[in-house]
Amino acid sequence: MGDDEVSSMRHQGGWIQRLLRGCSDHAGTLLGLAVAAGLFSLPALVFGADVAPAAPTEYRDIPYVGSRNVIWVIAQLHLLLAGFVLGVPMFAWVCEVVAWRGGEKRYDKLAKEFTKLLTSAYSTTALFGGILLFLLIAFYPKLMNYLTDIFFPSFIVYCILFLVETATLYLYWYGWEAMQYGGKKTFHIFLGFMLNFFAFFIMIIPNSWATFQASPVVIAEGTDMARAWAATWNPTWWPVNIHRIIANVVLGGYICGAYAGIRYLSAKTPEERDHYDWMGYVGNFIGVFGLLALPFAGYWLMREIYQYNQQMGITLMGGFLSWLFILQAMLIGVLFLGSNYYFWLGITHRIPGSALQYRKPILAMLVVLLLCLGVWMTPHSLVASLEEAAKMGGTHHPLLGVLGVMSAKMTVSNLMILVTFMSFIMYWRAGKQDTAGWAKIAKAIMGAILVLASIAVIILGVWGYFVPAIIRINYFSTSQVLIVIGVMLTITPLTALLLKSAKTTTEMVWGKMPPRAGYSLVLNAIMVILLMTLMGYARSSSRVHWHVYGVVRDTSQYAFSPALGYASGIMSLCTFFFCMIVAFIFWVATMGDKTKAATESKKAELPHGVPAMAGASSALDAPRAPKF
Q: What is the DSSP letter of 59?
A: -
pLDDT at 32 exceeding the cut of 50: no
The closest alpha carbon to 205, from 246, 143, 162, belongs to: 162
7-16, 201-210, 265-274, 295-304, range with greatest mean pLDDT: 201-210
Name, in order, each residue with C-beta under 8 angstroms of 465's C-beta and a sequence gap of 6 or more.
402, 405, 407
72-81, 268-277, 596-605, range with greatest mean pLDDT: 72-81
Q: Could you tell me if residue 607 is inside a domain?
A: no
Q: Could you tell me if residue 81 is inside a domain?
A: yes
pTM: 0.83
Candidate from 65-69, 122-126, 184-188, 389-393 with smallest mean pLDDT: 389-393
49-63, 176-190, 266-280, 496-510, range with greatest mean pLDDT: 266-280
pLDDT at 622: 37
State the average pLDDT over residues 379-401: 71
507 three-class SS: coil
Residue 494 near residue 446, CB atoms below 8 Å: yes
Q: Could you tell me if residue 481 is inside a domain?
A: no
Q: What is the DSSP letter of 511?
A: S
Domain count, the chain: 1
pLDDT digits (tens, 9 = 90+) for 316-333: 887 788 888 888 888 999
What span, in angstroms and rounded, lies between the C-alpha atoms of 427 and 282?
A: 13
pLDDT digits (tens, 9 = 90+) for 535-572: 999 999 999 999 999 999 999 999 998 998 999 999 99
Burial of 380 (0-12, 13-18, 19+ CB in 10 A): buried
pLDDT at 33: 37
What span, in angstroms and rounded, lies between the C-alpha atoms of 447 and 356?
A: 21
State the average pLDDT over residues 265-292: 92
Torsional sign, CA 111, 116, 117, 123:
positive
Q: Could you tell me if residue 377 is inside a domain?
A: no
Q: What is the DSSP letter of 55?
A: P
Go through 346-375 and write b for each residue having 16 or more CB atoms within 10 A of its CB, e for each that does not: bbbbbbeebeeebeeebeebbebbeebbeb
- Which backbone phi and psi does 354 adopt, to 5 degrees? -100, -5
Which domain covers residue 566, as residue numbers?
67-327+538-600
In sequence order, what DSSP letters do the residues of 253-314 get, joined into one string?
HHHHHHHHHHHHHT--SHHHHHHHHHHHHHHHHHHHHHHHHHHHHHHHHHHHHHHH-HHHHH
**Could you give the count of Cα atoms lying within 13 Å of 258 in the half-sphere of its Cβ?**
23
pLDDT at 7: 46
Q: How confident is the model at residue 617 (pLDDT cuts 50, 70, 90)?
A: very low
Q: Could you tell me if residue 389 is inside a domain?
A: no
pLDDT digits (tens, 9 = 90+) for 452-483: 999 999 999 999 989 887 788 778 888 999 99
Q: Could you tell me if residue 111 is inside a domain?
A: yes
Residue 499 near residue 428, CB atoms below 8 Å: yes
Annotate 203-246 with three-state secondary structure: HHHHHHHHHHHHCCCCCCCCCHHHHHHHHHCCCCHHHHHHHHHH
The whole-angstrom distance between residue 240's C-alpha and the CA centroid of its chain comes to 11
In the chain, the amino acid numbered 256 is C
Q: Could you tell me if residue 195 is inside a domain?
A: yes
pLDDT digits (tens, 9 = 90+) for 231-274: 999 999 999 999 999 999 999 999 999 999 999 999 989 999 99
Q: Could you tell me if residue 224 is inside a domain?
A: yes
